[in-house]
Amino acid sequence: MKELIFKTIGEFHLYNGLEEPENPLFTASHTVREGEPEKCDKQEGAISLTCDFYTISLKNIISGELTYGRTKYDCSNGTLLFTSPNQNLKFENLVFSSEAYHISFHKDYLNGHPLFDKIKKYSFFEYQVNEALHLSPKEEERLKLVFRNIIEEYENNQDEFSKDIILSHLETLLKYSDRYYKRQFINRKEINQDLFSAFKSVLNVYFETNQFEKKGIPTVEWLASQLDVSHRYMSDTIKAETGKTAIDQINLYLIEQAKNMLLAPQASISETAYQLGFEYPQYFSRLFKKKVGVSPKKYISMN
C-alpha cells in the first residue's frame, strides 16, 4: 500500500500537479475534464492518505473501496466528505467523477476569527468516512454554488477583505452541511433505530457480564468502538432518535437497573452503586435523585 502524508497544503498541491496555493494555509479548487464532466477518473492500487489540515471534498464516487479504520465507506453519488487534521483515509481502486470540488485549510487560517471556536461544534469533522453526507440533487447544487463563491474569492487578487469573505462563505458551507446532516439523520430513521438498539444491546451485555462492577461505567468512546462508528456520529444519531444524548442514555440505563436492584431483598445502596460502576455511592445517589425525583433510600421505602 502506498502511504501519502501531507504536512502542508503546498505538498498536497505539488503531488497533484497543481500550482502553488494562493495562500499556504488555504486552497479551494474545482476540477473537471473540460467538456467531459460526466467522465470518470480511476485511482489504481491501494493508498493510505493523511493530511495535517482540514479537507472538504464534493465528488461522485462510483465504485471502489474507501475506508477509515475498520469501516468501509458507503459510496454514493453526490458525496460530501469532511476530514480533520491527521485522520487517515485508505482507498483502493477508487473510481470517481472527473468533476470535483475541494477545499483544504490549516487550523491556523482560522486564527482571530469566530470560526476558530465554532468549527469545533461541527461534529461531522470527526465522523468516520462511511458517515459522509449524501446529498440530494438540490442540496448538491446549492453547495456547489457556495463552493464556487469560495473559489472565485480565492482566485481573486488577495486583499484585506479576502480572508473574511472566504471564511464567511466557508461558514455558510458548514451551516448548510449541518442542516443536511440533520436531514440525513431523519431520513435514515430505520438505520438510527438499529444503531440505538445495538447501543442498548452492548449495554445489556456489559451489565449481564458484570463489567460495570469490574471496569466501571463505559465511556461513549468505548461504546462507539463496539459499534464500529465514531463517538460523535453515535451521539448525534442517538440524539436525533431519542432527543437525549448518549451520556443521558447511559445514565437512564443505569437508573433503570438501579431501580430493580434496590428493591431486591436486603439491597444495599452502596453495594448497588459499586455494582453499577460508581466509584462513590454519593454520586450515584445524586444522579438517582436527579433522574427519579427521590433519593434511593426514599425510593426503597416507597416500594
CATH number at residue 199: 1.10.10.60
Partners of 95 in the beta sheet? 42, 63
- pLDDT at position 103: 96
Same structural domain, 235 and 142? no
What is the C-alpha separation between 47 and 94, in angstroms, rounded? Answer: 10
Which of 142, 164, 187 is the endpoint of a domain? Answer: 187
Low-confidence ranges of the chain (pLDDT < 50): 37, 69-71, 74, 76
Pair 176, 245 in one domain: no
Q: Which of 135, 156, 187 is the last residue of a domain?
A: 187
Which of 193-202 are b and which e, b meaning 16 or more Cβ less than 10 Å from the residue's Cβ?
eebbebbeeb
Does residue 122 contact residue 173 with C-beta atoms inside 8 Å? Answer: no
Residue 289 and residue 233 in one domain: yes
161 residue type, one letter: F
Classify residue 225 by its DSSP letter: H
* Number of separate domains in the chain: 2
Are 113 and 199 contained in the same domain?
A: no
Residue 158 DSSP one-character state: P
Amino acid at 238: I
CA 125, 131, 136: angle at the middle one, nearest 5? 100
Q: What's the CATH code of the domain at 50?
A: 2.60.120
- Tens of pLDDT, residue by residue over 131-185, are 667 788 899 899 999 999 999 999 988 888 999 999 999 999 999 998 988 887 7
Coil/strand/helix, residue 271:
helix
Q: 268 and 213 in contact (C-beta within 8 Å)? A: no
81's enclosing H/E stretch is strand 79-83
Shared domain for 183 and 72, answered yes or no, is yes
Kindly state whether residues 141 and 205 are assigned to the same domain: no
Residues 218 and 195 in one domain: yes
pLDDT at 288: 94
Same domain, 241 and 142: no
Q: 198, 4, 194: which is closest to 89 by C-alpha? A: 4
Same domain, 223 and 140: no
- Domain of residue 212, residue span: 190-302
Inter-residue contact 103 to 55 (CB < 8 Å): yes
126 shares a domain with 51: yes
Query: Alpha carbon of 288 to those of 13, 204, 258, 283: distances in Å?
Result: 56, 19, 8, 9
Residue that finishes a domain, picked among 124, 159, 187: 187
